[in-house]
Amino acid sequence: MSDHLSVRELDLSSTGLQTSGAKEIADGLMRAKNIEVIKLRDNASVDSSQMIYNLAFSPKIKHIDLTRSCTGANKWPAIVEALFKLLKISGSVETLMLGGTDISQHLSLDFN
């Protein structure tokens, strides 16, 4: 990601992404100022909280797809916190897809 700063869309759907790879991608997302779309759908085993938080520093991010991702309650508290910070910092997000997840039971009143 550091060498390709003009990337606008990153589709990691169904890649079997693991946490170690997610950390590397998260580091690159800090520098990806042109990214508008990220798709992480169907990656059940990854904790994407650091990637989500780092997207807050991407001023053009509009679309985030976490459909059927991050299954398992132990990952959701960190992901919910990262989403809250992202939405608080970034004013550009237009679409947040969370279908097929159990995120709703982990949302606090801050999301109301």
Counting residues of the chain whose pLDDT is more than 90, the rounded percentage is 34
- Go through the domains of the chain in sequence order and give each one's CATH number: 9-111 (3.80.10.10)
Query: Can you give the pLDDT at residue 109?
Result: 63
Counting residues of the chain whose pLDDT is more than 70, the rounded percentage is 92
In DSSP notation, the chain reads -TT-TT--EEE-TTS---HHHHHHHHHHHTT-TT--EEE-TT-TT---HHHHHHGGG-TT--EEE-TT-S-STTTHHHHHHHHHHHHHH-S---EEE-TT--GGGG--GGG-
Give the model confidence (pLDDT) of 12-62 as tens digits.
999 988 878 888 888 888 888 899 999 999 988 888 888 999 998 889 999
As a whole number of Å, the CA-based R_g of the chain is: 13
Query: Can you give the pLDDT at residue 22?
Result: 86
